[in-house]
């Protein structure tokens, strides 16, 4: 009986001791500084990137931080004052050590972006002018001497993607150096949308060709060319009888919306060049992709259902 009482007493003492240890650890954890993260411009980089100075998020004096992580030091060797670093630090209130760097990017002014985009457009237009013998608009005009919706939507989307891709490559070369030439990719949605645009162009040509062949086989006269000079504003929203066409209008409208959203997103994206070997142009959302696909599909169905010379 005495033995059992002794065992119970020893067990209670041990349990109390364990509780005290757990309580002490909890108190120490509560007193430990909370880690944090923030993004800030680089002010100065120490020798070997063992330390850096960044602008304080609170607007106070610059923060001097040591760099503990070896991979972070390696990445910081590529940096220069003015770059933006997104870092994790040991103490959110009074940081002293960088534990990890999540992102390193170099800001690009709006003026530099505009010049790069304008230069890319100029090169594309110049190439189109040369290959068409100074008539680049012929890429947009169909056999009926009217502006073609399928050709215009392909030119718009291809031109937007090609322009932003070229601008991204050029800016990465100028601002980041030769080590970062190329490495600009397209997301899956961008690839799908580009494929839809090309499919609509090809599908419209096939439909028109089949109608012409069927008319010739039936001994019917081919559709005549329009005698009215091409008019971009009216040809894209009217059928061959100069009547307002909902299918043409919605297709070109969706294309314009997609191009505008992509261009604006890409312009913002080019304002901060990440120092990494591979980047992707900004994605488009699935809603816009679905709307684009439906618009292209409706246009093709409308064109297939129309008689030759009416769609």
- Domain map of the chain by residue range? 36-106, 110-305
Q: 3-state DSSP helix/strand/coil percent for the chain, to nearest 5?
A: 55, 15, 30
Which runs of consecutive H residues, i.e. helices, occur in 177-228? 188-217
pLDDT at res. 11:
52
pLDDT at res. 28:
45
pLDDT at res. 27:
42
Query: DSSP code of 272?
Result: E
pLDDT at res. 10:
53
pLDDT at res. 58:
72
Q: What is the rounded CA–CA span in Å between residue 163 and residue 119?
A: 9
Q: What is the rounded CA–CA span in Å between residue 83 and residue 198?
A: 39
Share above pLDDT 90 across residues of the chain, in percent, rounded to a whole number? 54
pLDDT at res. 79:
94
What is the pTM assigned to this prediction?
A: 0.83
Whether the Cβ atoms of residue 153 and residue 255 lie closer than 8 Å to each other: yes
pLDDT at res. 26:
44
Q: Give, in words, the CATH class of 36-106.
A: mainly beta
Q: Give the distance from CA 15 to its chain's centroid.
A: 59
Kindly provide the b/e burial profile for residues 24-61, where b requires at least 16 CB atoms within 10 angstroms of the residue's own CB. Answer: eeeeeeeeeeeeeebebebbebeeebebbbbeeeeeee
> Shortest CA distance to 267 belongs to which of 120, 162, 167?
167
Q: What is the rounded CA–CA span in Å between residue 66 and residue 87?
A: 12
pLDDT at res. 239:
82
Distances (CA, A) of 106 to 42, 47, 87, 172: 10, 20, 15, 10
- C-alpha torsion sign, points 51, 54, 56, 61: positive
pLDDT at res. 139:
93
Low-confidence ranges of the chain (pLDDT < 50): 1-2, 7-9, 12-13, 15-17, 19-20, 23-24, 26-32
47: left (phi over 0), alpha (psi -120 to 50) or beta: beta
Q: Which helix (H) or strand (E) holds 52?
A: strand 51-54
Q: What is the rounded CA–CA span in Å between residue 255 and residue 139?
A: 17
pLDDT at res. 158:
95
């Amino acid at each position: 009986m005495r033995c059992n009482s002794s065992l119970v007493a020893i067990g209670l003492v041990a349990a109390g001791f364990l509780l005290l240890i757990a309580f002490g650890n909890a108190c120490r954890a509560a007193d430990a500084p909370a880690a944090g993260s923030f993004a800030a411009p680089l002010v100065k980089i120490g020798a070997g990137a063992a330390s850096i100075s960044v602008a304080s998020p609170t607007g106070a004096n610059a923060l001097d931080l040591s760099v503990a992580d070896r991979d972070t030091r390696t990445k910081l060797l590529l940096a220069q004052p003015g770059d933006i670093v997104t870092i994790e630090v040991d103490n959110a209130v009074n940081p002293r050590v960088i534990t990890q760097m999540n992102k390193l990017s170099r800001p690009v002014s709006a003026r530099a972006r505009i010049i790069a985009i304008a230069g890319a457009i100029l090169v594309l237009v110049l190439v189109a002018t040369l290959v068409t013998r100074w008539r680049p608009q012929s890429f947009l005009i169909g056999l009926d001497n009217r502006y073609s919706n399928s050709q215009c939507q392909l030119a718009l989307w291809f031109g937007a993607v090609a322009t932003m891709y070229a601008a991204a490559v050029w800016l990465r070369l100028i601002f980041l150096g030769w080590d970062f030439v190329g490495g600009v990719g397209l997301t899956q949605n961008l690839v799908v949308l580009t494929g839809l645009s090309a499919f609509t162009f090809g599908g419209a040509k096939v439909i028109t060709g089949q109608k012409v062949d069927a008319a010739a086989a039936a001994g019917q006269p081919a559709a005549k060319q329009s005698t009215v000079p091409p008019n971009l504003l009216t040809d894209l929203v009217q059928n061959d009888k100069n009547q307002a066409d909902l299918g043409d209008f919605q297709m070109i409208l969706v294309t314009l919306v997609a191009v505008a959203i992509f261009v604006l997103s890409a312009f913002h994206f080019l304002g901060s060049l990440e120092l990494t070997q591979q980047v992707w142009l900004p994605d488009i959302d699935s809603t816009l992709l679905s709307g684009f696909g439906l618009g292209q599909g409706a246009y093709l169905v409308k064109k297939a259902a129309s008689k030759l010379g009416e769609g």
